[in-house]
């Protein structure tokens, strides 16, 4: 008969029967036959693989058909200061936000709701944090996970916990979770070890108007993290600026000659500046030093000429001193020889030996005395 309509609902489905778009009944799995003389009936099916019932009739069913809701749905209502944890067969599958009013189809998997009040405690317990952190290893996505701030604080670091912009506490190394609802929660990771901060490319005029380019490196650490963040919004940037100010004060009040003669002056001046400006700030500077002092090109040339002239003058002084010393030594030797013929004779023999070293062959006529008397003129007694 053409007036008899047949509707089929599969085993993993549920159906809503309508008459001209108006709800009539919920259809369970099976084949359903209804007389439809005016072609007014229709069926909308829902897969139980997606158990959430987000439909325009959800509110109507809650209000007007409580018996149907009790029979076919699991109600999950969450208060305004609560978070809902929805489980399917004891597996956490979804985080429901505050104020949620959801319906889930019964029949596919057992549904269970666990409520957590976050009005007073916004921190998740350790067991729930461990469960949420391993959710990606279970082969399915956890819906609503963006409602949780998951933070892992590594070793040798601490986490500065801020709630609505207020610093509350320090978090030691470990794993933490915080509800984001109704609060602005953030955690800033801070390394408590000694760190290096470089202030590079600082162009500063000396007292005698010479432009220098300096690079400075400072080693620093947090002495008291909470004190540093309670007084300074960005402690590292504050330290960088103070290093700049100290460097400019140290260079700008001294001449180029003073800086070149003693580079430690800059380190001592910057240290003194930091000691005065960073007292009780929670920041400790363990050491600093100027790595480079770069002069302008023309100043390099002038200094090279000055150094060259100084070294040339020093070389001349040394040369004259050596020449004077040698002349004085010769004069003393001559005086000794003048009064001592034996010494003079020894000097002659020494001279003859040096001459003989340069001669390959010597022909002697008249004996050795003739050689000595012919080569060296002896003073007559």
Whether 304 is in a domain gets the answer no
Instruction: In whole angstroms, give the CA distance from residue 111 to residue 84.
Output: 12
Residues 272 and 346 in one domain: no
| pLDDT at site 156 | 92
CA-to-CA separations, 169 to 158, 186, 229, in angstroms, rounded: 10, 12, 11
Nearest one of 48, 46, 75 to 63, comparing CA atoms: 75
pLDDT class for 135, splitting at 50, 70, 90? low
Whether 332 is in a domain gets the answer no
Residues 269 and 345 in one domain: no
Whether 364 is in a domain gets the answer yes
Residues 278 and 344 in one domain: no
Whether 237 is in a domain gets the answer yes
Instruction: In whole angstroms, give the CA distance from residue 302 to residue 306.
Output: 6
Whether 273 is in a domain gets the answer yes
Whether 369 is in a domain gets the answer yes
Contact 44, 18 (CB under 8 A): yes
Query: What would the 3-class secondary structure string for 135-167 be?
Result: HHHHCCCCECHHHEEEEEECCCEEEEEEECCEE
Whether 305 is in a domain gets the answer no
pLDDT tens sequence across 113-130: 999 998 888 899 888 898
| pLDDT at site 375 | 55
Residues 230 and 286 in one domain: yes
pLDDT tens sequence across 261-301: 787 888 889 999 999 988 888 999 999 988 888 776 565 55
What average pLDDT does range 130-137 have in this prediction?
74
Q: Which of 295, 329, 352 is the last residue of a domain?
A: 295
pLDDT class for 303, splitting at 50, 70, 90? low
Nearest one of 244, 84, 204, 202 to 148, comparing CA atoms: 84
CATH number of the domain where residue 250 is located: 3.30.479.30
> Strands 4-9, 174-179: parallel, antiparallel or unpaired by DSSP?
unpaired
* Phi, psi of 29, deg, nearest 5: -55, 140
Domain that holds residue 10: 1-47
Residues 290 and 346 in one domain: no
Residues 362 and 291 in one domain: no
- More reliable by pLDDT, 91 or 219: 219
pLDDT at 340 over 70: yes
* Segments of 223-342 assigned E as strands: 283-294
Residues 351 and 278 in one domain: no
Whether 18 is in a domain gets the answer yes
Least confident window among 52-66, 115-129, 250-264:
250-264
The pair of structure tokens assigned to 115 is 């409520």
The pair of structure tokens assigned to 175 is 């794993």
- Axis crossing angle, helix 368-375 with helix 341-357, rounded to the nearest 10: 100
Tally of domains within the chain: 3
What global pTM score does this model have? Answer: 0.64
């Amino acid at each position: 008969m053409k007036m008899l309509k047949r509707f089929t609902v599969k085993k993993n489905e549920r159906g809503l029967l309508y008459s001209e778009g108006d709800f009539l009944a919920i259809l369970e799995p099976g084949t359903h036959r209804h007389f439809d003389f005016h072609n007014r009936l229709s069926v909308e099916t829902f897969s139980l693989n997606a158990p959430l019932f987000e439909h325009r009739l959800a509110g109507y069913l809650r209000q007007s058909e409580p018996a149907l809701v009790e029979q076919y749905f699991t109600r999950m209502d969450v208060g305004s200061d609560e978070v809902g944890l929805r489980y399917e067969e004891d597996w956490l599958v979804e985080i429901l936000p505050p104020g949620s009013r959801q319906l889930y189809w019964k029949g596919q998997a057992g549904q269970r709701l666990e409520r957590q009040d976050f009005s007073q405690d916004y921190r998740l317990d350790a067991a729930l944090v461990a469960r949420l952190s391993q959710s990606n290893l279970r082969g399915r996505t956890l819906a609503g996970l963006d409602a949780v701030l998951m933070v892992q604080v590594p070793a040798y670091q601490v986490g500065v916990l801020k709630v609505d912009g207020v610093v509350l506490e320090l978090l030691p190394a470990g794993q933490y979770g915080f509800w984001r609802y109704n609060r602005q929660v953030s955690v800033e990771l801070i390394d408590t070890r000694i760190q290096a901060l470089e202030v590079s490319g600082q162009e500063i005029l000396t007292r005698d108007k010479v432009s220098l380019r300096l690079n400075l490196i400072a080693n620093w650490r947090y002495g008291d993290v909470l004190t540093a963040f309670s007084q300074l919004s960005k402690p590292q940037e504050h330290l960088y600026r103070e290093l700049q100010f100290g460097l400019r004060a140290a260079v700008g009040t001294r001449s180029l000659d003073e800086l070149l003669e003693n580079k430690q002056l800059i380190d001592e001046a910057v240290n003194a500046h930091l000691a005065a400006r960073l007292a009780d700030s929670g920041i400790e500077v363990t050491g600093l030093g100027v790595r480079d002092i770069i002069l302008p090109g023309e100043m390099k040339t002038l200094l090279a000429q000055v150094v060259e002239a100084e070294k040339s003058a020093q070389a001349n002084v040394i040369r004259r001193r050596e020449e004077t010393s040698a002349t004085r030594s010769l004069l003393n030797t001559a005086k000794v020889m003048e009064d001592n013929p034996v010494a003079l004779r020894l000097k002659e023999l020494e001279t003859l030996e040096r001459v003989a070293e340069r001669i390959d062959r010597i022909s002697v006529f008249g004996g050795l005395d003739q050689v000595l008397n012919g080569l060296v003129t002896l003073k007559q007694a």
